[in-house]
Amino acid sequence: MTELQRVAEYLVEKGKKRGADQAEVFIKSGEQTTVKVFRNEVELFTKAGSCGAGIRVFKDGKLGYAYSTMLERQALDNLVDAALENSGFSQADRYMGLPETVLSEKDTRATSLLAPGFDRISSAEKIDFATTMEKTALEADKAVILCEDTLYTDGKEHVLLLNSNGFSGEYVNGACFAYTSVLAGKNDDVMSGFAIRSGRAMTELDPLEIGAEAAQQAVMLLGAESVKPQRTTVVFDPVVFVEIMMSMSPAFSAEAVQKGRSFLAGHRGKQVAAGHVSIIDDGRMPGGLGTTPFDDEGVKTQQTTLIERGVLSGLLYNSYSARKDKARSTGNASRVSYKTPPGTSPTNLFIEPGATSKEDVIRDVSEGVYVISVQGLHAGVNAVTGQFSVGAGGMLIKDGLLDRPVREITIASTLPDLLKNITVIGDDLTFLSMGINIGSPTVAIEGIMVGGR
Our measurement of the distance from residue 43's CA atom to the centroid of its chain's CA atoms, rounded to an integer in Å, reads 27
DSSP letters spanning 204-244? G--HHHHHHHHHHHHHHTTT-B----EEEEEEEPHHHHHHH
Residues 256-275 close enough to bind other proteins by CB under 8 A = 259-261, 263
C-beta of 1 vs 48, nearer to other proteins: 48
C-beta of 41 vs 359, nearer to other proteins: 41
C-beta of 354 vs 368, nearer to other proteins: 368
Distance separating alpha carbons of residues 133 and 150, to the nearest angstrom: 7
Binding of other proteins at residue 445 (CB under 8 A)?
Answer: no
Strands 311-312 and 303-308: antiparallel
Minimum Å gap between C-beta 448 and other proteins is 9
Residues 251, 307 contacting (CB under 8 angstroms)? no
The residue among 83, 56, 88 whose CA lies nearest residue 343 is 56
Binding of other proteins at residue 435 (CB under 8 A)?
Answer: no
Distance separating alpha carbons of residues 202 and 200, to the nearest angstrom: 7
Binding of other proteins at residue 109 (CB under 8 A)?
Answer: no
Residues 3-42 close enough to bind other proteins by CB under 8 A = 38, 41-42
Residues 305-324 close enough to bind other proteins by CB under 8 A = none
Minimum Å gap between C-beta 390 and other proteins is 7
Residues 163-182 close enough to bind other proteins by CB under 8 A = 181
Binding mask 193-232 for other proteins (x = CB under 8 A): ---------------------------------x--x---
C-beta of 81 vs 364, nearer to other proteins: 81
Residues 357-386 close enough to bind other proteins by CB under 8 A = 375-380, 382, 384-386
> What angle is formed at CA 77 by the lines to CA 76 and CA 80, rounded to 5 degrees?
85
Binds other proteins (CB under 8 A): choice among 26, 58, 65, 294: 65
Binding of other proteins at residue 336 (CB under 8 A)?
Answer: no
The residue among 113, 198, 107 whose CA lies nearest residue 161 is 107
- Binding part of the chain for other proteins, among 81-89, 159-167, 203-211, 233-241 by CB under 8 A, reads 81-89
Residues 341, 366 contacting (CB under 8 angstroms)? no
DSSP state of 118: G
